[in-house]
Amino acid sequence: MKILHVWSCAGVSSLIARYMDSRHGTESDVVITEKWDTLGLNDYRTIKMKSKPLFGLKSLIMARKYDLIHVHYHSIFIPCLKFLYDKPVIIHFHGSDVRENWGARLGRIKRADAIFVSTKDLLLGAPLKAVWIPNPVDTVKFKEYPRDHGDVALTFSYGADEEALKIANNLGLRLLVQKEKIPYDELPDFMLKFDYYIDVKRDFKGRLLPVIGKPVLSKTGLEALSLGLNVIAKDMEIRSGLPEYHRPENVVDVLHRIYREFLEG
């Protein structure tokens, strides 16, 4: 089985590809742009194009060699791929591309063979066939270390620094607001200096996430859990331990079953 991942959000495509190939003997590739991966999140069988136009052209041409196309975020590819090729095409949404905005995407995705979302809150307003596929976490890179928890918390600056500081003050924690990005290879060691991760952020529309319902953790929040940090979202609940359904082997096992259903008819 040959799978092409078009685009990658937070390194998810590369992680899925690596575990899918190692566990199920598939052949997966990822295509993105260089500019989108300055932190080095995608390190497995990833082709990085110089520009968006070249990325688009390369994706459409490459797709002819694969059995199944798994598109992430860029729903504009769905009509083109379904017009060009008679093969399964999946669209996978990862956040504010569809959060409270499904109407703007329905025309593009009506021919998609499957619709995936990465967090449960994205199911609100989604087409009935949309399926939640939990974000995988690299549990080898973000390996859990036993620890005694102190009172030092970390948050990355995503437009919600004041909210993070309020949470830290309410819980008696000392907070570092990290404004500079950390290269992905250095992220586990950096995060292990802290006891808590405060997982609050705003999207490009300035909305504190999630907009509605119970907080869902970002991929960085899940990685913090995997390392053994306590994680706090905007509800101030203290979470610990990575849920099993976020382990990469469990995620790719679910995906592989779905892939096979499409390819075996």
pLDDT of residue 147: 80
SS3 assignment for the chain:
CEEEEECCCCCHHHHHHHHHHHHHCCEEEEEEEHHHHCCCCCCCCEEEECCHHHHHHHHHHHHHHCCEEEEECCCCHHHHHHHHCCCCEEEEECCCCCCCCHHHCHHHHCCCCEEEECCHHHHCCCCCCEEECCCCCCCCCCCCCCCCCCCEEEEECCCCHHHHHHHHHHCCCEEEEECCCCCHHHHHHHHCCCCEEECCCECCCCCECCCCCCCCCCHHHHHHHHHCCEEECCCCCEECCCCHHHCHHHHHHHHHHHHHHHHHC
- Percentage of the chain beyond pLDDT 70 is 100
CATH number belonging to the domain at 2-135+247-264, selected among 3.40.50.2000, 3.30.300.30, 3.30.230.70, 3.30.1490.20:
3.40.50.2000
Domains in the chain: boundaries? 2-135+247-264, 152-245
Confidence (pLDDT) at 256: 98
- pLDDT at residue 148, rounded to an integer: 81
| Residue 211 pLDDT greater than 80, yes or no | no
Residue 31 confidence (pLDDT) above 90: yes
Full-model pTM: 0.96
pLDDT at 87: 98
> pLDDT of 121-176, one tens digit each?
999 999 999 999 999 999 999 999 888 889 999 999 999 999 999 999 999 999 99
